[in-house]
């Protein structure tokens, strides 16, 4: 059995970049740009006033008084130079009129009829945002490979862009397996349970920026499993859940081999999530995740998410890991590393982690009441107060979990 890290390495070594597409700028949010964006003009495009105030030539100030000779709102280009000894009333964002080099804010002058008197010290160049101060024409503003957050989207808009070329979203086929499964919306009959995995995996895909394609349920026979997997290969990658263990009715591995897939691993030393396989079938990656709902989601986090992110051009592939303190003792009696679900909180600026109770891999509430994982080595026993590394699955700790 290989380790989590070895499995991640194998997966990432077989993960390449997807193609690109041009999308409306707001659709590019949280995606990775696939073009260098060069500024076509200076930002600001001219010298602008940074304040509501008066613009004048610094050398003209005599005894601190100036004659007001006009008014310039934002959005209007100045035409006439300001005469010597005069000041132009100017609004924030208006271009500095020719002949002026300094702005004094309105609150720093005494207005006396058509004259203003400066109250205090003024320096040449005060309160002017200079042309090209932020970006010069021809500068590289957003480099290919950058993640587009709201500020990047904003700066692209300021350069006049309405679209961006970004890495495409991964299209991921999601297939559940099991004779016991009913689709959500059904009332469970005896012996049946609802297929929750497809929906939780789809939610994880959406959160990672991928596009789920729901393939429904493959019943537990080889022929159906093989056919449904074949259908899934039309997507960029395929995720299956269940049927990958060693039970009499577990056909996923066999179906992958039947389809001449290259099976790279089919067991990983971890709890939850040991039965997890990774195969390349007809050049498509197939992740066969465990059936147990928690195991499927935890395995998605460790193996699928980093791969999806890499395909979509991201360079930060793993969840953040921080150091924090356990509030309760934890033990791993088993021989495999245990990913213990914990609720992580910030208390006085320090991370604290509390295990989420019964850690059964079938119990989704061990994830709903938490937001992080602690990896406990085999046979480890940690006392309350121990310092541990915490993998943060989401940021809800900032909002304070119960
Ligand atoms: P398996 O690996 O197929 O034996 O599944 C392991 C356990 O996970 C069984 O108890 C299944 O009932 C459960 N399970 C499998 N698939 C799903 C699913 N799509 N949604 C919820 N539970 C599932
Ligand atoms: Mg099954």
Query: Nearest ligand to the C-alpha of residue 245?
Result: 1
- Does residue 176 have its Cβ closer than 6 Å to ligand 1? yes
Poorest-pLDDT segment among 58-62, 81-85, 124-128 = 58-62
Out of 2.40.160.40, 2.160.10.10, 3.40.50.2300, 2.40.340.10, select the CATH number for domain 321-398: 2.40.340.10
Q: Report whether pLDDT(322) > 50.
A: yes
- Does residue 360 have its Cβ closer than 6 Å to ligand 1? no
- Does residue 256 have its Cβ closer than 6 Å to ligand 1? no
Q: Of 315, 333, 330, 402, which is closest to residue 373 (Cα–Cα)?
A: 330
Q: What is the pTM of this model?
A: 0.93
Atom of ligand 1 nearest to the CA of 290: 2
Measured by CA distance, the residue closest to atom 6 of ligand 1 is: 291
- Does residue 324 have its Cβ closer than 6 Å to ligand 1? no
Q: Apex CA 205: angle with CA 204 and CA 209, to 5°?
A: 115
Cβ–Cβ < 8 Å for 30, 149: yes
pLDDT, tens digit, 9 for 90 and up, residues 264-274 = 999 999 999 99
Q: Tell me what percent of the residues of the chain surpass a pLDDT of 70.
A: 99
Q: Which residue has the tokens 């990047």?
A: 152
CATH superfamily label, 48-129? Molybdopterin biosynthesis moea protein, domain 3. (2.170.190.11)
Calculate how far, in angstroms, residue 294's C-alpha sits from the geometric centre of ligand 2. Answer: 15
Cβ–Cβ < 8 Å for 187, 171: no
Calculate how far, in angstroms, residue 327's C-alpha sits from the geometric centre of ligand 2. Answer: 36
Cβ–Cβ < 8 Å for 252, 277: yes
Could you please report the per-residue DSSP string of 255-284?
Answer: HHHHTT-EEEES-BS-BS--S-EEEEETTE
Mutation test residue for ligand 1: of 198, 271, 292, the one with most atoms within 8 Å of CB: 292
CA separation for the pair 64, 127 (Å, rounded): 17
Measured by CA distance, the residue closest to atom 20 of ligand 1 is: 195
Mutation test residue for ligand 1: of 175, 176, 177, 178, the one with most atoms within 8 Å of CB: 178
Confidence of residue 63 (pLDDT cuts 50, 70, 90): confident
User: What is the CATH number that goes with domain 20-43+133-167?
Assistant: 3.90.105.10
What's the full length of the chain, in residues?
A: 402
Atom of ligand 1 nearest to the CA of 245: 2
Confidence of residue 402 (pLDDT cuts 50, 70, 90): very low
Task: State phi, psi for 143 to the nearest 5 degrees.
Answer: -85, 145
CA separation for the pair 128, 47 (Å, rounded): 6
Residue range 84-113: mean pLDDT, rounded: 95
Give the model's pLDDT for residue 79.
Answer: 84
E strand segments, 73-149: 86-90, 102-105, 109-112, 115-118, 128-129, 140-142
CA separation for the pair 27, 242 (Å, rounded): 34
Out of 3.40.980.10, 2.60.40.1180, 3.10.129.10, 3.30.70.260, select the CATH number for domain 4-17+169-311: 3.40.980.10
Query: Nearest ligand to the C-alpha of residue 297?
Result: 1
Residue range 65-78: mean pLDDT, rounded: 92
Is it true that 20-43+133-167 and 321-398 share their CATH fold? no
Cβ–Cβ < 8 Å for 358, 366: yes
Atom of ligand 1 nearest to the CA of 275: 2
Query: Nearest ligand to the C-alpha of residue 242?
Result: 1
Tokens of 191: 């012996």
What mean pLDDT, rounded, does the chain reach? 95
pLDDT, tens digit, 9 for 90 and up, residues 143-162 = 999 999 999 999 999 999 99
Q: Which residue has the tokens 């991964």?
A: 170
CA separation for the pair 126, 21 (Å, rounded): 45
- C-alpha distance from residue 185 to each of 109, 199, 202 (Å): 70, 12, 16
Mutation test residue for ligand 1: of 201, 203, 204, 241, the one with most atoms within 8 Å of CB: 241
Tokens of 155: 């700066």
- Does residue 356 have its Cβ closer than 6 Å to ligand 1? no
Beta bridge partners of 180: none
Tell me the domain boundaries of the chain: 4-17+169-311, 20-43+133-167, 48-129, 321-398
pLDDT, tens digit, 9 for 90 and up, residues 198-256 = 999 999 999 999 999 999 999 999 999 999 999 999 999 999 999 999 899 999 999 99
pLDDT, tens digit, 9 for 90 and up, residues 262-314 = 999 999 999 999 999 999 999 999 999 999 999 999 999 999 999 999 999 99
Mutation test residue for ligand 1: of 191, 192, 199, 242, the one with most atoms within 8 Å of CB: 242
Q: Of 297, 261, 290, which is closest to residue 276 (Cα–Cα)?
A: 290
Tokens of 149: 């957050």
pLDDT, tens digit, 9 for 90 and up, residues 355-390 = 999 999 999 999 999 999 999 999 999 999 999 999
Atom of ligand 1 nearest to the CA of 177: 16
Cβ–Cβ < 8 Å for 378, 337: yes
Beta bridge partners of 240: 175, 288
Q: What is the 3-state secondary structure (H, E, C) of 349-360?
A: CEEEEEECCCCC
């Amino acid at each position: 059995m290989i380790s989590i890290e070895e499995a991640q390495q194998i997966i990432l070594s077989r993960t390449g970049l997807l193609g690109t597409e041009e999308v409306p700028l707001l659709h590019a949010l949280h995606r990775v740009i696939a073009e260098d964006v060069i500024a076509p003009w200076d930002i600001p495009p001219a010298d602008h006033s940074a304040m509501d105030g008066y613009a004048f030539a610094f050398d003209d100030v005599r005894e601190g008084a100036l004659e007001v000779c006009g008014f310039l709102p934002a959005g209007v280009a100045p035409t006439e130079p300001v005469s010597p000894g005069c000041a132009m009333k100017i609004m924030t964002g208006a271009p500095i009129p020719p002949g002026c080099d300094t702005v004094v804010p309105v609150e720093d002058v005494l207005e006396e009829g058509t004259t203003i008197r400066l109250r205090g010290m003024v320096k040449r160049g005060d309160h002017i945002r200079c042309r090209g101060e932020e970006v010069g024409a021809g500068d590289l503003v957003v480099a290919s490979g950058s993640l587009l957050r709201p500020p990047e989207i904003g700066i692209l808009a300021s350069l006049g862009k309405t679209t961006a070329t970004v890495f495409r979203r991964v299209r991921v086929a999601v297939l559940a397996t099991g004779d016991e499964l009913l689709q959500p919306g059904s009332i469970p009959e005896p012996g049946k349970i609802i297929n929750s995995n497809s929906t939780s995996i789809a939610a994880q895909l959406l959160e990672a920026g991928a596009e789920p394609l729901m393939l429904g349920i493959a019943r537990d026979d080889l022929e159906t499993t093989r056919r449904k997997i074949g259908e899934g290969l039309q997507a960029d990658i395929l995720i299956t859940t269940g049927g990958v263990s060693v039970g009499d009715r577990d056909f996923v591995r066999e179906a992958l081999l039947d389809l001449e897939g290259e099976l790279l691993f089919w067991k990983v030393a971890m709890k939850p999530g040991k039965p997890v396989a990774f195969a390349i079938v007809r050049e498509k990656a197939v992740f066969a995740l465990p059936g147990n709902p928690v195991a499927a989601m935890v395995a998605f986090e460790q193996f699928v998410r980093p791969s999806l992110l890499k395909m979509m051009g991201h360079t930060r592939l793993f969840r953040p890991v921080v150091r924090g303190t356990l509030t309760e003792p934890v033990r791993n009696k088993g021989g495999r590393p245990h990913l213990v679900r914990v609720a992580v909180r910030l208390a006085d600026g320090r991370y604290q982690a509390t295990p989420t109770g019964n850690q059964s891999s079938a119990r989704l509430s061990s994830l709903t009441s938490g937001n992080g994982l602690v990896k406990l080595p085999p046979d480890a026993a940690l006392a309350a107060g121990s310092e541990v590394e915490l993998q943060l699955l989401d940021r809800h700790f900032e909002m304070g979990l119960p």
